[in-house]
Amino acid sequence: MSAVRLQLEDVRKSFGQTEVLDGVSLHVQEGEFVSILGPSGAGKSTIFRLLTGAERADGGAIHMNGAPLEGRNRNMAFMPQRDALMPWRSILDNVTLGLEVQGMTRKAARAKVTPLLAEFGLAGFENHYPAQLSGGMRQRAALLRTVVQERNMLLLDEPFGALDALTRTSMQRWLEVMWKRHRWTALLITHDVREAVFLSDRIYVLSARPARVLHEFHVPLPRPRDGSARGLQEASAIEAAVLDTLLIREQAGGPHS
C-alpha cells in the first residue's frame, strides 16, 4: 500500500459568521488521483486555499508526508481554473516561469522544459504566444508549467472548466494517459461527475456548505480508461451512485437535516 502523501483530519474553516468547512477529513496516497466533488459554494476551493497557505484552518489538522503542513513542506504545484498564461511571454517562457521564480536561470529552465514539449503536444509552438493557441493547447502549456516544477503533489482546480465540451473530453483523455505514464500524485476539484469518475482512483463527495464528506467512492475501473463497453457500463453505475448521493442529500435539506 502506498504511503499517505496528504491527510486532512476534521478540518474546519469559517469566514466571519459563514461556516464553510465543517470537519472535512480526506487523504491522498502517493501516486493516486483523487477528486473532490460537490455543489457550487461548498468549500472545495477553500480546501485548496488552505493547502497552498492562502488561508489558515480554524481547526483540525493537515499533514503532508506525515508532518504538519507548513511553509517548509508545502511542496505542491497549483493549476488554477484559468490557464493564467502571461500574454506577453512566449509559450516556452510561460512554461519555464515557475522554475525561474524558484531561482533557476532561464537557460537552465529552457533546457529542462524543451524535451517535454513534444510529449505535451507543444513542439513547434514554443515561440507562439498564448493568443495564438487553442484553449486545449493553452491548458496543456499550463499543466506542463505546473508539473515541470517536480513538486510532491498537483492541485488541479477545475482545469478544464472553461473549455467547450469536445475539447474538455479530449483533454480529460489526454490527462488520464499522462497521469498513467507519470503517476503524479494529484488532487482535483471538479463539478463534473463524469470527469471525476473518468480520471479518479477515489472521489470525495462534499455536502453543501458547511461542507462535510458525504461519501467516499472508490473507482476500480481498469486503466487506460478507453471507453470499452464494459468500462462505460461500470462508469455509468458509479456516476449514478455519485449523483444519487448529491441529489438525495440536497432533497433532504442539507447535511444537518
Last residue of a domain, one of 126, 151, 176: 151
Let me know whether 166 and 256 are in one domain. Answer: yes
CA atoms of 10 and 59, how far apart (whole Å):
7
Percent of the chain with pLDDT over 70: 93
Last residue of a domain, one of 100, 118, 151: 151
In-domain check, residue 99: yes
In-domain check, residue 65: yes
Last residue of a domain, one of 98, 119, 151: 151
Let me know whether 224 and 257 are in one domain. Answer: yes
Parent domain of 237 = 1-75+162-257
Looking up residue 209, the CATH number of its domain turns out to be: 3.40.50.300
In-domain check, residue 120: yes
Cα–Cα nearest to 241, from 195, 193, 202, 199: 193
pLDDT tens-digit profile of 207-228?
A: 998 999 999 999 998 888 866 6
pLDDT tens-digit profile of 115-124?
A: 999 988 899 9
Total domains present in the chain: 2
Q: What's residue 73's pLDDT?
A: 65
CA atoms of 57 and 42, how far apart (whole Å):
16
Q: What are the counts of helices (DSSP H) followed by strands (DSSP E) for the chain?
A: 8, 10
Start-to-end CA span in the chain (Å): 37
Backbone angles phi, psi at 30, to 5 degrees: -60, 130
Let me know whether 65 and 98 are in one domain. Answer: no
Let me know whether 54 and 180 are in one domain. Answer: yes
- With cut-offs at 50, 70 and 90, classify the pLDDT of residue 256: very low
For the four alpha carbons of 248, 251, 254 and 256, in that order, the dihedral sign comes to negative
Let me know whether 64 and 166 are in one domain. Answer: yes
Q: What is the average pLDDT across 3-11?
A: 94
What pTM did the predictor assign? 0.88
